[in-house]
Amino acid sequence: MRCRALIRAFLPLAGLLLAASAAAPAGPPRAKNVILMVGDGMGFSLVTAGRLAKGGVDGPPLSFETLDRFGYQRIYSADGVIADSAATASAWACGAKFSNGALCFHGDGRVAPPSLLDLARERGRAIGLVATSAITHATPAAFGASVPDRRCESEIARQYLVETKVDLLLGGGMSSFQSAAKDPCGGGGEDYVALARREGYTVVTSAAGLRAATGTGKLLGLFATEELTRVQARPEDSTEPTLAEMTAAALDRLAQDRDGFFLLVEGSQIDWGGHDNDLGYAVSELLAFDEAVRVTQAWIAARRERAAQTLLIVLADHETGGLALVGPRDRPAATAPVKVTPHWATAGHTAADAPLWSSGPGSAELGGLVDNTKIYDVVRGALAK
């Protein structure tokens, strides 16, 4: 009888505990892997031009257009309505507004929040950066370095190796690692490729070398003195890897870390086609970037658990060139490639909102209009242990 009385007395308390448990908010979705893929300078009109060039007016969407959610970003910087790559990448990487030209660095002495690469490292993830520019260029640099001036590319290289200790670096930029002169931040004047080897990196300088670099361990791939050769100018026997090849190699290597990884991939030269007001240049780089996205989606789809464990974000940092599509007016065959007639408003950046596609844990927060600092919040939450 006494036991029954105790049970009857406990039942209301148990009910309250169950109700409280049911009402408690769930934590943020967790991701084992986070992949950010940046189409630098890739505005809405250029995406349309790329889709038309690939598949015509009734062709399939581009690979990144098939992701679960679509949104767009406010991209103003701390000192301007029009942002550069440094300011936007720093907003993503460090979760605050920064001045144009600065990389996760406040000129007034304020300390920037820890970068997503720092957080990923603290939480056991492998970390990697891939770009078709010099790997020390503004967008990847914001994630792996903190400097007042994006031109400090040798100092950025040094920080990658001995401070951030990035596991994988693939792109151009040999000159930044072997500069005889000091940069504005005091970096350079020594051989950072030799330093990389002393720090335990395998160093490769060709596509063949990248293919041969199997296994685990830190990897530095420098495939050009500055940026990689643009897609339009590449010979068939090029010794440089494509963006898709670098992305596949990065995924294979970083995925060997059982705790997961953080990877940034940039199609850097989409932006440069916009600066040149060269539609062919911009579209060819965009389609090469989209191929890297397709490779990434195939990697995610190859194993059932990866879809639930991987946050994939594809986004632009700003729009370049003010592209308007003013023709052709006549409709061609449904799937015939369309070469649009462009009108460019500027050779610089514009203040237009920047597109954003995503899928995986945390992506539900990235639909509709968001500030670009929201990327930091979502990724930080997804990387939590």
- Please report how many Cα atoms fall inside a 13 Å half-sphere around the Cα of residue 6, on the Cβ side: 3
10 Å Cβ neighbour count for 255? 18
**d(C-alpha 237, C-alpha 217), whole Å:** 29
Is 85 a residue of the active site? yes
**d(C-alpha 92, C-alpha 355), whole Å:** 14
10 Å Cβ neighbour count for 70? 15
Strand partners, 315: 38, 356
- Cβ atoms of 319 and 352 closer than 8 Å: yes
DSSP letter string over 116-149? HHHHHHHTT-EEEEEEEEETTSHHHHHHH--BS-
Residue written as token pair 């910087």 = 77
Longest Cα pair distance anywhere in the chain, in angstroms? 89
Among candidate residues 63, 77, 85, 268, the one labeled active-site is 85
10 Å Cβ neighbour count for 6? 10
Q: Which amino acid is at 148?
A: P
Query: Beta strands 341-344 and 323-327: pairing type?
Result: antiparallel
Length of the chain counted residue by residue: 385
Identify which of 125, 146, 162, 163 has the alpha carbon closest to the alpha carbon of residue 36: 125
Q: How far is CA 41 from CA 3, 4, 274, 295, 327, in A?
A: 71, 71, 7, 21, 22
Indicate the SS3 state at residue 33.
Answer: strand
Query: Beta strands 168-172 and 354-359: pairing type?
Result: unpaired
Q: How far is CA 75 from CA 57, 313, 351, in A?
A: 30, 16, 8
Q: Would you please indicate which residues are annotated as catalytic (active-site) residues?
A: 85
